């Protein structure tokens, strides 16, 4: 089924309403099996974290870094 929405004509509120309905439907317990490549990517990233090659930034620091880059 192909659905075409008039996105350019819709308000932000209308778009958010549609997104909420779609998310609610997706969260309704439908079974989903992610593609195999998702597992491979996650395994690769876990290895990078375990080796210390990559790390994490807490959310507040990340937001500050983003603000500094765009201002």
pLDDT tens digits for range 59-69: 999 999 999 99
Residue 7 located in a structural domain? no
CA distance 55 to 62: 12
Does the pTM surpass 0.75? The reply is no
In a domain, 28, yes or no: no
Domain assignment of residue 22, yes or no:
no
Residue 39 belongs to domain spanning: 34-71
Query: Considering the domain boundaries, does residue 10 fall inside one?
Result: no
Q: What confidence score (pLDDT) does residue 31 get?
A: 85
| pLDDT interval class at 26 (50, 70, 90) | confident
Closest alpha carbon to 3 in 28, 24, 21: 21
Does residue 59 lie within any of the structural domains? yes
Residue 47 inside a domain? The answer is: yes
- Work out how many domains the chain is built from and give that number: 1
């Amino acid at each position: 089924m192909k659905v075409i929405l008039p996105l350019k004509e819709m308000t932000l509120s209308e778009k958010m309403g549609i997104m909420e309905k779609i998310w609610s439907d997706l969260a309704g317990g439908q079974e989903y099996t992610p593609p195999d490549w998702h597992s491979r990517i996650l395994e690769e990233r876990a290895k990078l974290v375990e080796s210390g090659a990559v790390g994490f930034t807490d959310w507040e620091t990340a937001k500050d870094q983003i603000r500094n880059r765009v201002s």
